[in-house]
Amino acid sequence: MASVELRDVSIRFPVYGARPRGLGGAFAAVGGAIRRGGDGILLVEALRGLSLSLTRGDRLGLVGHNGAGKSTLLRVIAGIYPPSSGTRRVHGRVLSLFDPMLGMALECTGRENVVLRGIYMGLTPRQARARIDEVADFCELGPYMDLPLGTWSTGMQLRLAFALATALDPDILLLDEQFGMGDAAFQEKAEGRLRDFVARAGIVVQASHSEPLIRASCSKVLLLDHGRAAMIGPPDAVFARYRAAAREAAVAR
């Protein structure tokens, strides 16, 4: 049973090697709060007192300004950043898709990369090899599968990355920003596959600046503002609030 339970989670990054001039408590239009810790070390507070509860079937969109904490929140759910304070309880197999090219070697062939990426994602070499043909078929890359990735175009590499990432069956799927999906012909095909993939996952959390994308795939939206949960609710209400906040910020400037 897939579930995500965050309670009062804060993430504070210590900043080493920077000597700012009296920034403590300064406010910026972007990013989390910058403050000074007890030991005098500068801290960037990427998330502050955030609570979140998701169960099977939830499709959550994350929106907010640059540095609002969207990617950090995804990484907390993935278990990458243990909370500085608060608790995190996550059940189910998590798949995080942040960098589509993770674990791919430009020097290796398409086939070898299928295995490499699969191993990164926790498959055994045998399980990974079993997926080569399906992925190759879907990408329509034909003979290029036997050439090093470095000889491919960026779009072709993204095709492979996309096909690989969506060949797995996670309980909890975490997506950062939009996946690049290649040219128009492939995009149509990819959208269908992405829909199926998302439908199979128990929980999906997706961060994006694209309102149409979030509206199309999410039932709930969380608006983040300087690391805090400003609002969580149905897309219509949250986007209304988000746009109003953006207008206010523009007027204030």
By beta-carbon proximity to other proteins, the closer residue of 79 and 142 is 79
Residue 236 beta carbon to other proteins: minimum distance, rounded to whole angstroms: 31
Residue of 34, 42, 108, 245 interacting with other proteins (CB under 8 A)? 108
Name residues contacting other proteins, limited to 17-76 (CB under 8 A): 75
Token pair listed for 68: 């609002």
Residue 31 beta carbon to other proteins: minimum distance, rounded to whole angstroms: 16
Among 99-107, 130-138, 161-169, 214-222, the segment contacting other proteins (CB under 8 A): 99-107
Among 55-63, 100-108, 202-210, 242-250, the segment contacting other proteins (CB under 8 A): 100-108
Among 21-29, 112-120, 160-168, 218-226, the segment contacting other proteins (CB under 8 A): 112-120
Q: How far apart are CA 87 and CA 84, in angstroms?
A: 9
Residue of 2, 6, 10, 186 interacting with other proteins (CB under 8 A)? 10
Shortest CA distance to 176 belongs to which of 154, 205, 145, 139? 205
Quick check: 130 binds other proteins (CB under 8 A)? no
Among 56-64, 116-124, 204-212, 243-251, the segment contacting other proteins (CB under 8 A): 116-124
Among 111-119, 205-213, 215-223, 230-238, the segment contacting other proteins (CB under 8 A): 111-119
Quick check: 82 binds other proteins (CB under 8 A)? yes
Quick check: 103 binds other proteins (CB under 8 A)? yes
Residue of 2, 52, 73, 94 interacting with other proteins (CB under 8 A)? 94
Do the beta carbons of residue 189 and residue 196 sit within 8 Å?
no
Do the beta carbons of residue 94 and residue 174 sit within 8 Å?
yes
Quick check: 232 binds other proteins (CB under 8 A)? no
Residues at the site binding other proteins, with contacts judged by CB under 8 A: 8, 10, 13-14, 16, 75, 78-82, 84-87, 94, 96, 98-99, 102-103, 105, 107-108, 115-116, 119-122, 124-125
